[in-house]
Structure 1
Amino acid sequence: MQPGNNTVTPLVSVIAVNFNNAAVTAELLASVRENSYPAIEMIVVDNASSEDPTLLLQAAMPEVRVVRSQENLGFAGGNNLGIQAATGEYLFFVNNDTEFTDGLVEGLLEIFAAFPDAGMASPKIRYFFQKDTIQYAGYHAVNRLTGRNTMIGSREVDQGQHDAVAETPYGHGAAMMVPRTALEKTGLMPEVYFLYYEELDWCEQFRRKGYKIYYQYKSLIYHKESMTTGKSSPMKTYYLTRNRLLFMRRNIALPARFLFMCYFSIFAIPKNTLQYLLKRETVHLKAFWRGIRWNL
């Protein structure tokens, strides 16, 4: 994975966080090993999994560096531990349930060469199990009233309709590359979120420092999605609720934040409470209310 003597490609540190999912992470490593970019430093942060995944991961990629945490630090904390171990000029944060394609790294690096104001770049993301279907081709901004946002192109069959480099409010947490210089000016991921919304908050911090965030259609990564938390789990309900409120508190100024709180109290709380009651999803109902209470 090291460049040849005459190669001037910058070293890219790829950082992934693993939690009790070593087999899926090993599939990521296999795709990285087969990738076209020659100068990669692969770091896996293990977030206190029940079993040490090192041997399994090294079987997939002998040169991988496994950093084991003694406690589960969450998505942001795990990535921040990876940052401490990384030596690359660029850092590429990827979910452990993604798989690389050729040209992925090269395309993202093109963004930083073309746009001096770029502080982050994310590739086109397609679903691994529906390989012609887009998950992410950029983001819409978070709605200041509802605290929600949507991904551009989500669930669309990819027919080239989003094949243009574009500035976007947010990179996608499943795959985002940052230059070390921008990272050093912006700071680490906000660990207060633990899971979900931390990359949106981090992007807000990059933009406050004057950086822009870009979507690169030339780069493609596949995403298996929610392999660690599950697509519908009480933990996911709790953190999405908790961190939606937290994000708005941290990033939306008055009076817009007051209007959001009114909306959330009058519409979102009754709607979600009723839905969980009608579906008899009491575990999700409790998780939803725990997320609210955390912010009080």
Structure 2
Amino acid sequence: MDKKVSIITVNYNGAPDTCEMIESLKRHESYPYELIVVDNGSANLEGYTLLKDKYPDVIVIRSDQNLGFAGGNNIGIQYATGDYLFFLNNDTIITCPILEILVNRLDSDRKIGCISPKTTFWPQRSKLQYAGATPMSYITLRNEFTGYMQEDDGRFDTPQETAFANGAAMMIRTADIQKFGLMAEFYFLYYEELDWCAYMQKAGFCIWYEPGAVVGHKESASVGLQSPLQVYYHTRNRLIFAQRTLSDPFERRCSYLYQTFVALPKRFLTYLCKGKLNLIAPLVKGGKDGIAFIMNK
């Protein structure tokens, strides 16, 4: 008898995208699954009502408060009954069956704690977004998606271990949560999945990239590219990530110093020179809040 996958997605003011994602699953996916949609404090109830009425076979949960990426997914976990949890952004599109491929790869090795499919941009399906990820620099706290913006021409079709999963689409075994815990909710937005992967690795698991499964992703449909929200949380959360995941005191201090005295002033001057004045306040606030967080730990 086949096992079951619990697909968890978070909706925030994005019901049209969520409907499109649900329809793509219904068209292409036949592996046993349940779909859990968490409406994460959307501005009004219209989207929540639409999803409940249109898809009676979907578990739709309403949170009156926006709990962020991790908080919304953690709510979904509470309702999940599957053997596997597949965290899938609501702005993704499925064009072929993927669940069985991901499940089989997880089942092939108990040391694999999390797996992500190949991710392309949508609707530019020939352009890659994620084909694995490079390790994180302990100084800059940046890494890259392998293959980003390159042609999906077969060069990235080798399944392999990688440094980080892609938060837009990642699968774990439900039973493994007890070994590395839930996602850290205080990030709210960005770095949660990187933090989670770091804790998986500390628990003895590895992260895997599976190109046999492919997902299309409308990148940053919910927050926008280079938005004040993005600038604030990227700035704040890099400092929090360093505090939580860098165990070497020297590396942690180097990271703090770089973020505070090199990266933040550089971005400040860049935004000033380019006239992006609306990004300066969230940049400064993100730095202050990140420092405050680590000082209180």
TM-score tier, shorter chain, comes to over 0.9
Equivalent position of 1:19 in the other structure: 12
Q: For 1:12-54, what per-residue CA distance to the aligned partner results, in whole angstroms no more than 9, with x for missing partners?
A: 0000000111011100110111123331100000011122223
Compare 154-163 and 253-262 and name the one that shifted more: 253-262
Amino acid at match of 2:78: Q
| Aligned equivalents of 1:93, 1:44: Cα separation in 2 | 10
Matched AA of 2:13: N
Count of matched residue positions in the alignment of Structure 1 and Structure 2: 289
Q: Which residue of 1 aligns with 2:206?
A: 212
Distance, in Å, in 2 between the alignment partners of 1:284 and 1:274 is: 11
**SS across alignment from 1:38:** coil
- For residues 71-90 of structure 1, what are the structure 2 equivalents within 5 Å? 71-90=65-84
**Residues 29-38 or 138-147, more deviating:** 29-38
Name the structure 2 match of 1:44.
37
Most deviating of 212-221 and 44-53: 44-53
Aligned-pair identity (%): 41
Structure 2: gaps spanning 5 or more residues? 292-297
- Deviation of 1:59 after TM superposition, in Å, equals 5.6
Aligned to 1:29: 22
Segment of structure 1 superposing worse, 224-233 or 77-86: 224-233
| TM-score for both structures, normalised by structure 1 | 0.94
1:64 matches 2:58: yes
The aligned counterpart of 1:4 is none
CA distance in 1, matches of 2:208, 2:53: 35
Q: What secondary structure, in the 3-state scheme, does the structure 2 residue paired with 1:92 have?
A: strand
| Residue of 138, 148, 161 corresponding to 2:155 | 161
Cα distance, 1:58 vs. partner?
4.2
Find 1:130's aligned residue among 93, 105, 124: 124
1:222 to 216, 219, 234: 216
Q: Work out whether 1:174 is the aligned partner of 2:168.
A: yes
Farther-moved stretch of structure 1 (273-282 vs 9-18):
273-282
> How much does 1:237 deviate?
0.5
Q: In the alignment, is the contact (CA less than 8 A) between 2:31 and 2:100 conserved in 1?
A: no
Residue 97 (str. 1) matches residue 91 (str. 2) = yes
Q: Output the CA distance in 1 between the equivalents of 2:127 and 2:259.
A: 32
* Residue 199 of structure 2 corresponds to residue 196 of structure 1: no
Match of 2:281 in 1: 286
What is the distance in 1 between the residues matched to 2:217 and 2:48?
Answer: 23
What RMSD over aligned residues (CA atoms) do the two structures have, in Å?
Answer: 1.2
Decide which of 2, 20, 27 is 1:9's aligned counterpart. 2
